[in-house]
């Protein structure tokens, strides 16, 4: 059988090694005679696993002890509500940076709870989409509760690689499709959140990293308990039953990152994979990527074929040889190769080989 490479944007492929451990332990976890799926989240063994997972994550992401690491339900979209519900205090305004589908969706959802000031930072320069440098963002003065932005727009393949370095501003980042893909300086953020189903683990669990002093905010709206950061913190992220299997698998992924050279190594690999793919696109007029070099995502490589009528054939033929889920999001169409941490360089090489042959055949 052909080796399958899965380029899905999420739920995305998981490291093979992780899947094999989960398979081996599935029926009898830690020799307890039961599956982890059947264990109480209040059992000592499960609790110890959660503690260990947080310890490893803190280490690989270099999260200072002045930050809390929380897990909850509801995915990243749940956080679109949780952020204003937890962070709006006396000021009911917030700055939302608009770079694409997901950052705009967060802003729209926030309208239920606050007055978002939606700031467009996308420009077309030389026919390429470009994001203004952070220093040029027209933020409100100190009249907002927080600034929200998305460093990696999963659908359009647009990324902001520079980090915000504001002083005295509460910066919130939707890191759903870029978390754990490279080193970041946590101290540049007040809250980071991410749905798990790309670089963390399976769907069903959401990561929140929050500055501890923000847990003391006296917010004017009381968040639902399951989204209340303060309550989540006091209950070790177990106010209600967590998604136990997703948490366990995420733990295995954190271990996998740690055992594979940590984020330095992961970052280098991601650099190689994305460079190979973008170089292939740039070396021809057959494929097009319309994002400025500095804002190209290293996780979601989005491109079109100049003759768009070939998209369907490209997807059909690539699938036939084991290159799966390359269809662009319905919102914009085209092709999207999501190359998260678990995608090996070998998978990208196979895709590039296919692209070159496809161009020869139809170009």
Binding-site residue positions for pyridoxal 5'-phosphate: 76-77, 102, 154, 174, 197, 240-241
CA proximity to 336, closest of 307, 296, 363: 296
Applying CB under 6 A, does 150 fall inside the site for ligand PMP? Answer: yes
Report how far apart, in Å, the C-alpha atoms of 98 and of each of 134, 137, 156, 333 are: 12, 11, 12, 20
Q: With CB under 6 A as the rule, give the number of residues binding ligand PMP.
A: 11
CA proximity to 260, closest of 316, 331, 342, 363: 342
Cβ–Cβ under 8 Å, residues 103 and 252: no
CA proximity to 139, closest of 158, 121, 165, 119: 119
CB of 105 vs ligand PMP, minimal distance in Å: 7
* Residue selected from 41, 58, 73, 77 as contacting ligand PMP according to rule CB under 6 A: 77
Applying CB under 6 A, does 195 fall inside the site for ligand PMP? Answer: yes
State the catalytic residue, choosing from 29, 95, 102, 256: 102
Tally the residues of the chain: 363
Burial bucket for residue 143 (CB in 10 Å: 0-12, 13-18, 19+)? exposed
State the catalytic residue, choosing from 95, 198, 327, 350: 198
The residue range among 74-82, 116-124, 266-274, 313-321 that interacts with ligand PMP, by the rule CB under 6 A, is 74-82
Residue bearing tokens 């905010």: 217
Applying CB under 6 A, does 10 fall inside the site for ligand PMP? Answer: yes
State the catalytic residue, choosing from 29, 95, 174, 228: 174
327 classed as catalytic? no
282 classed as catalytic? no
Look up residue 26 and give its two tokens.
């599935």
CB of 203 vs ligand PMP, minimal distance in Å: 6
Give the CA radius of gyration of the chain.
21
Applying CB under 6 A, does 204 fall inside the site for ligand PMP? Answer: no
Report how far apart, in Å, the C-alpha atoms of 173 and of each of 189, 199, 252 are: 7, 16, 24
Mark the binding-site residues for L-glutamate, compressed into ranges: 42
**In this structure, which long-range contacts are made by residues 114-123, counting pairs with CB atoms below 8 Å and at least 24 apart in sequence?**
114/84, 114/88, 114/145, 116/148, 117/93, 117/144, 119/95, 121/97, 122/98, 122/158
The residue range among 33-41, 69-77, 291-299, 333-341 that interacts with ligand PMP, by the rule CB under 6 A, is 69-77
Alpha carbon distance 49, 41 (integer Å) = 10
Cβ–Cβ under 8 Å, residues 209 and 68: yes
Name beta bridge partners: 131. Answer: 122
Q: Which residue is nearest to ligand PMP (CB)?
A: 75
Applying CB under 6 A, does 109 fall inside the site for ligand PMP? Answer: no
Applying CB under 6 A, does 174 fall inside the site for ligand PMP? Answer: yes
CB of 250 vs ligand PMP, minimal distance in Å: 13
Applying CB under 6 A, does 102 fall inside the site for ligand PMP? Answer: yes
Alpha carbon distance 218, 229 (integer Å) = 12
Mark the binding-site residues, compressed into ranges: 42, 76-77, 102, 154, 174, 197, 240-241
The residue range among 140-148, 174-182, 249-257, 308-316 that interacts with ligand PMP, by the rule CB under 6 A, is 174-182
Name which of 299 and 335 has its Cβ closer to ligand PMP: 299
Applying CB under 6 A, does 278 fall inside the site for ligand PMP? Answer: no
CB of 135 vs ligand PMP, minimal distance in Å: 23
Helix (H, G, I), strand (E, B) or coil at 207: strand
Name which of 154 and 341 has its Cβ closer to ligand PMP: 154
247 classed as catalytic? no
The residue range among 17-25, 52-60, 173-181, 348-356 that interacts with ligand PMP, by the rule CB under 6 A, is 173-181
Q: Name the residues annotated as catalytic.
A: 102, 174, 198
Q: Which residues bind ligand PMP (CB under 6 A)?
A: 10, 75-77, 102, 150, 154, 174, 176-177, 195
């Amino acid at each position: 059988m052909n080796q399958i490479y899965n380029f899905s944007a999420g739920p995305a492929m998981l490291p093979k090694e992780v899947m094999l451990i989960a398979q081996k332990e599935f029926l009898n976890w830690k020799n307890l005679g039961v599956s982890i799926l059947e264990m109480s989240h209040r059992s000592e063994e499960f609790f110890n696993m959660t503690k260990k997972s947080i310890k490893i994550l803190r280490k690989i992401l270099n999260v200072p002890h002045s930050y809390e690491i929380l897990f909850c339900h509801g995915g990243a979209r749940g956080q679109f509500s949780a952020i204003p519900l937890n962070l709006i205090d006396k000021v009911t305004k917030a700055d939302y940076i608009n770079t694409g589908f997901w950052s705009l969706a967060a802003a729209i959802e926030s309208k239920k709870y606050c007055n978002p000031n939606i700031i467009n930072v996308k420009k077309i320069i030389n026919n390429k989409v470009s994001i203004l440098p952070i220093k040029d963002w027209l933020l409100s003065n100190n009249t907002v509760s927080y600034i929200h932005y998305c460093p990696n727009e999963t659908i359009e393949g647009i990324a902001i690689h520079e980090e915000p370095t504001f002083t005295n501003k509460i910066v919130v980042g939707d890191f759903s499709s870029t978390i754990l893909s490279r080193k970041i300086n946590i101290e540049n953020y007040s809250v980071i959140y991410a749905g798990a189903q790309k670089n963390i683990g399976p769907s069903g669990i959401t990561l929140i990293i929050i500055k501890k002093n923000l847990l003391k905010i006296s917010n004017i709206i009381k968040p639902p308990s399951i989204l209340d950061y303060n309550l989540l913190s006091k209950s070790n992220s177990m106010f209600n039953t967590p998604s136990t299997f997703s948490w366990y698998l995420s733990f295995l992924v954190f271990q996998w990152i740690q055992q594979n050279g940590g984020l330095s190594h992961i970052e280098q690999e991601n650099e190689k994979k994305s460079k190979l793919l973008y170089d292939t696109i740039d070396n021809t007029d057959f494929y097009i990527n319309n994002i400025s070099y500095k804002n190209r995502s290293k996780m979601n490589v989005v491109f079109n074929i100049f003759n768009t009528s070939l998209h369907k054939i490209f997807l059909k033929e690539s699938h036939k040889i084991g290159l799966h889920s390359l269809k662009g999001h319905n919102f914009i169409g085209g092709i999207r190769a999501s190359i998260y941490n678990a995608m090996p360089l070998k998978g990208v090489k196979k895709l590039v080989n296919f692209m070159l042959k496809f161009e020869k055949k139809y170009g």
